[in-house]
Structure 1
Amino acid sequence: MKSILIPTSHFCFISAPLRASSTDIHPNTKWIQNGLTVAGGNGQGSGINQLYSPCGLYVADDQTIYVADRDNHRIVEWKSGATTGQVVAGGNGQGNGAHQLNGPLDVIIDKERDSIIISDLENKRVVRWPRRNGTSGETIVSNISCVGLTMDENRSLYVVDQGKDEVRRYRIGDTEGTVVAGGNGQGNRPDQLFGPWYVFVDRDHSVYMSEYGNHRVMKWEEGAKQGIVVAG
C-alpha cells in the first residue's frame, strides 16, 4: 500500500490555544441554531474579503483567526468582527521561493516568538514566518508531506507526515525530530497509521490523531509504542 494524500477542498482543520482536557457544559445549554460567517463568505476568489479552498485555521486568544487559504497560496489573518482579511504569509503567487507558499494546509501561532508556523504541503516543507510585517519565511522542516501541526505548552512542535504515516515531535533546538506515533509502515495495527491528518496534544503529552485511511481516531500516550482506538 502507498500513503494517501486526500484532496482537501471539503476539509477544514482547526487549531486553538492549548485547552483543558475536559470542559463542563451545563445540561440545559442551548446552542445558537444559525452559524455566523467570520471569514470569507464573499464567494471563491483572491480578494482580501475572499477565500479559495481554505483548509486549516488557528484561533488566537483575542479571537483573531488565521486561515490557510490553500488555493490562494497564502495565510490570511481575520480579526474579530472584520469584513476583510490581511495577508500575513505568502500571497506572492504559487511557488517555492522563501516569499511564497504552495498549497498551505495548516497554520499555528508560536506566541513566544510571535511567529506563524505553516504546513507548506506542495513544497514539502514546514516554514516559519514573522507574525507581523513578514516578507519571507524560513524552512524549519524539509522533505516532509506535512498535513497537520500543533504545539504543546513547552513549545515542542508536532507534525503529521502523511508520506511516512507518522507524527514527529520537534523540541526546541531539535533538527531531527522524534517519532511519537506511527513510524512502523502503513497499516491498521495498533502501532501503525494510515493517512493520519488532524493532530492534537493534551496536557499529558498524549497525541491524538484522526486517520483518514483507517477511519478511526487514535491516542498515543507519551512514550507509547502503540496507540489505542478512541473513536471509530
Structure 2
Amino acid sequence: MVVVFLLILINRITTLWFNQPQFCPTVEWSRDAITFVNTSTAGISEGDIFIDANNTIYIAVSQKKQILIWHENTTYPMIIGRDDWSLIFSIFVPNTSEIYISFSDSKIIKWMASTNTFVNITHFQQPCRDIFIDIENHLYCSLYNLAVVVKTSVNGKTPMMIMAGITNIAGSTPDKLYGPSGIFVDRNLDLYVADTWNNRVQLFSSGKNIGKTVAGQSSSDITIALKRPHSTALDADKYLFISDNGNNRIVASGPNGFRCLLGCNGMGKQPHQLNHPMAISFDVHKNVFVYDAANKRFQKFDLQIYSCQNVPVTTRILSYILPS
C-alpha cells in the first residue's frame, strides 16, 4: 500500500503540462523584448499563449481563427483552425495530443492531434475568459460576466461546480468576484483568480469558498496596487506573476515582496514597454512570453542569466523556503 501511495504521489507531483521554473530572488529579464509574433501574422484583439514542458509554443490568433504551433527549434508554425470559429479566448494543452479551446460563443472544443479532428466538449452559459486543467483532470472556467469560476470534467459530462464567487452577484467581499479573468490551479488544488474589476488576485484554498486577497491594495499582507489584473501564474516556489493590465506591466512576488518586472517604464509600443498585457507564460529556458494585447504582439523577454550568478547559495535556499 505504501508503494502504491508513493507512486500516486510522485505522479501527482510530476504531472505538469506547463513550465513552473524556479528563480533566484534577484532574477531579471531583458529590458527590451523580442517580438515573437506581431500584427503581420496576427491581427488580434483576443489571444492566448501556452508553452508546454517540451517547449512547444501554442499561440491563439483570435481574429484569424487559428492556433499557431511551434515545436522546439522550428522556424515556421503548424496551423490549425476553422473558418466557422468565433473569437478564441483561451487555450490549454494537457498533453501533446490535444488542445482545449475556449470561444466567445461559450463553446469548449478539443483538437485531437492523432486524427486532426475537433471534438465538442461542453457549452457554458457564458464564454470562458480563461480555462485551466488541474492535475486531477478537472476543467476550470472563469465566467467573467457571471462573476464565478466553475469546474467540470475534461469531457464536460459531470455537473458544473462553482469553485469561487456567487452566480450573477458581483461584489468585493471575500466570497465574491467581479469580472474574474485569468485562473491558475496549483498542485494542492488551490485556486488563484485574477479578480479584474476588484483590482486584486484572490486565493481560494482547496474546498473553500471564501477567498483571501494575495495581491492588490485590499490585501492584509504587504503587496502591490493592481489595476484590472488579467492573468496570473505561479513559479515553482509559489510566487505570483501577474499581468497588471491597467498599469501596463508584469509584476511578481518574491522573498522580498512584490516588484515590477517587465514594462516598468509606462505604457507604449517600444520594446521595453507594454500596452494592456494579458496572458503570460514561461518557456523551458525560463524566458517570459507576454501577450501585449493593445500592441497586437506576443513579446519574449529573455532571462538574464547573470542576474543570479552572484547570489550566495544560502540566500537562494532561504528564498525558496520563506513564505510568500
TM-score norm. by structure 2 comes to 0.55
Whether the aligned pair in 1 keeps the contact of 2:47 and 2:291 (CA below 8 Å) is: no
> What is the rounded CA distance, in whole Å, between the counterparts of 2:171 and 2:149 in structure 1?
14
Larger radius of gyration, structure 1 or 2? 2
Give the root-mean-square deviation of aligned CA atoms. Answer: 2.6
**Partner residue in 2 for 1:32:** 116
Q: Identity of aligned pairs, percent?
A: 17
Cα separation, partners in 2 of 1:165 and 1:31, compared to 1, 3 Å: farther
> What is the rounded CA distance, in whole Å, between the counterparts of 1:119 and 1:86 in structure 2?
19
**Partner residue in 2 for 1:198:** 279
> What is the rounded CA distance, in whole Å, between the counterparts of 2:300 and 2:154 in structure 1?
33
In the alignment, structure 1 residue 119 sits paired with structure 2 residue 194? yes
Structure with the higher fraction of residues in helix conformation? 2
In the alignment, structure 1 residue 186 sits paired with structure 2 residue 267? yes
Whether the aligned pair in 2 keeps the contact of 1:73 and 1:90 (CA below 8 Å) is: yes
Q: 1:130 aligns with which of 202, 205, 211?
A: 205
| Amino acid in structure 2 at the alignment position of 1:103 | G
In the alignment, structure 1 residue 19 sits paired with structure 2 residue 57? no
**Partner residue in 2 for 1:154:** 237
> What is the rounded CA distance, in whole Å, between the counterparts of 1:128 and 1:108 in structure 2?
10
**Partner residue in 1 for 2:185:** 109
Unpaired runs of 5+ in structure 2? Answer: 1-44, 57-70, 73-95, 98-112, 217-224, 306-324
Q: What stretches of structure 1 move > 4 A for 4+ residues in a row?
A: 10-16, 23-26
Cα separation, partners in 2 of 1:15 and 1:190, compared to 1, 3 Å: closer
The 5-angstrom pairing of residues 10-89 of structure 1 reads 11=46, 19-22=53-56, 30-37=114-121, 39=122, 41=123, 50-81=124-155, 82-89=157-164
User: How many residues are treated as equivalent by the alignment?
Assistant: 198
In the alignment, structure 1 residue 211 sits paired with structure 2 residue 280? no
Cα separation, partners in 2 of 1:204 and 1:157, compared to 1, 3 Å: farther
Deviations 1:27-56 (A, max 9, x none): xx654333322x4x2xxxxxxxx4323201
CA positional deviation for 1:174: 4.9
Unpaired runs of 5+ in structure 1? Answer: 1-9, 42-49, 225-232
> What is the rounded CA distance, in whole Å, between the counterparts of 1:219 and 1:31 in structure 2?
32
| Amino acid in structure 2 at the alignment position of 1:108 | F
**Partner residue in 2 for 1:99:** 175
> What is the rounded CA distance, in whole Å, between the counterparts of 1:88 and 1:162 in structure 2?
24
> What is the rounded CA distance, in whole Å, between the counterparts of 1:74 and 1:89 in structure 2?
6
> What is the rounded CA distance, in whole Å, between the counterparts of 1:189 and 1:126 in structure 2?
28
Cα separation, partners in 2 of 1:65 and 1:15, compared to 1, 3 Å: farther
CA positional deviation for 1:19: 2.3
Cα separation, partners in 2 of 1:20 and 1:34, compared to 1, 3 Å: closer
